[in-house]
Amino acid sequence: MTASHGARTVVAKVGSSSITNAGGGVDAASIDRLCAQVAELRELGHSVVLVSSGAIAAGWFAMGGGPRPTDPATLQAVSAVGQSKLMRVYDEAFAARGLAVGQVLLAPLDFIHRQQYLHARQTLSRLLELGVVPVVNENDATSDDEIRFGDNDRLAALVAHLVAADLLVLLTDTAGLLTADPRTTAEASLIEEVIEVDHELEIVAGGAGSAVGSGGMASKLAAAKIAAWSGVETVIADAGRAGVLRGVIDGEPGVGTVFRARGRRLPARKLWIAFAVAAAGTLVVDEGARRALVEREASLLPAGVVSVSGRFDTDDAVEIAGPDGVVFAKGLARHPAHLVASWAGHRTSELPDGAAPEVVHRDDLVVLG
């Protein structure tokens, strides 16, 4: 067989709800169907990276089940139990099709620090070169609760950037992004194409999804936004749809919601700043500073700062809003909140001797508009 649109690199993410059964355990039949589709794409000449949730669900089921725990320490311990059980099912399903599988556990720091980022990229690239199917998950068992992805949708979008993917497929338990919540509105219909994720779409996406997962449509929309800024097209589609991955590759009408990529691709570090790090505060700037940041790609200086909110420290992420209060940029603060507040409106010459003049350096700043 030959590839439909030339050889492509695809990152496919599957959520817990799509690979667990009614009792909360791993559904081997669902995973087998997914692996059969991945094998088909491989036969067509495509490279596939699988990002799979389900370790916590698998671990908790193995430990007796019941109401899912919420405290981080227990979730990390349960993940350690479930990860090997989940991988065993993938290993057997891919082995039956003559494919080797490799587990890759990633942490947010792998995307923040350039050397770790390059190591992660090299590992995934080599696995694909060797014909291995990488199965990626967050390193839940040892991740810092203060610095984590939060859900595998966001992780999948960052992995798509990492491997320079052509396509990100987010498999879920609905047909894609719908005009309303199908659980409450019978008239909900599929939105087949999205050119740009805006605030109205984010309202449509709503909140959390199933009891066994941590995502929901809102997190998938956020992931699609990250991927778009990475130059990667995204499709949200139903994991239960027959031949869904082949349908996505072939551009089958109605296969899901397609999110078009932006023309400009953000570097990995700026992608992380923009979308993967929570803001610890907000800086409101005057119109002159807003124009300088947007039009001249300048650094933010104290003179342009009007007000400061939040309790951020050096290197924490901050949102930057214009005089109208609308956030238009995000960056890493070079100084803690109390210093920025005391320097607000001051010229560089009025700062203490030796103080770095930038509140947010342009190398650490992303304009979001």
Residue intervals in the chain for CATH 2.30.130.10: 278-367
> Is the Cα torsion angle 67, 73, 77, 80 positive or negative in sign?
positive
Q: What percent of the chain has pLDDT over 70?
A: 92
Reported pTM? 0.82
Predicted pLDDT of residue 196 = 83
Q: Phi and psi of 95, rounded to 5°?
A: -60, -35
| Topology given in CATH for the domain delimited by 9-266 | Carbamate kinase (3.40.1160)
Model confidence pLDDT, tens digit, residues 46-87: 999 999 988 888 898 889 888 888 888 888 899 899 999 999
Indicate the CATH number of 278-367 among 3.40.228.10, 3.40.50.300, 3.40.50.2000, 2.30.130.10: 2.30.130.10
In this structure, the strands spanning 327-332 and 317-321 are: antiparallel
Residues 6+ apart with CB under 8 A from 309: 281, 282, 284
CA distances from 195 to 191, 229, 244 (A): 11, 12, 22
Whole-number Å distance between alpha carbons of 201 and 63: 39
* Nearest C-alpha neighbor of 92 from the set 25, 35, 164, 159: 35
Task: Return the bridge partners of 284, or none.
Answer: 307, 321
Task: Return the bridge partners of 95, or none.
Answer: none
Residue 233, token pair as written in the block: 């097209």
Model confidence pLDDT, tens digit, residues 4-57: 458 999 999 998 889 988 887 889 999 999 999 999 999 999 999 999 988 888
Position 358 pLDDT exceeds 70:
yes
In this structure, the strands spanning 256-259 and 305-310 are: unpaired
pLDDT tier, 251 (very low <50, low <70, confident <90, very high otherwise): very high
* Nearest C-alpha neighbor of 112 from the set 256, 273, 236, 302: 273
Task: Return the bridge partners of 104, or none.
Answer: 136
CA distances from 360 to 174, 234, 270, 272, 285 (A): 41, 31, 13, 16, 12
Amino acid at 152: N
Position 147 pLDDT exceeds 60:
no
Whole-number Å distance between alpha carbons of 199 and 202: 5
**Other beta carbons within 10 Å of 323:** 13
Q: Higher model confidence: residue 251 or residue 196?
A: 251
Residue intervals in the chain for CATH 3.40.1160.10: 9-266
| Spatial strand order in the sheet of 9-14 | 101-106, 133-138, 47-52, 9-14, 167-172, 233-238, 256-259, 193-194
CA distances from 272 to 75, 100, 159, 221 (A): 25, 31, 12, 16
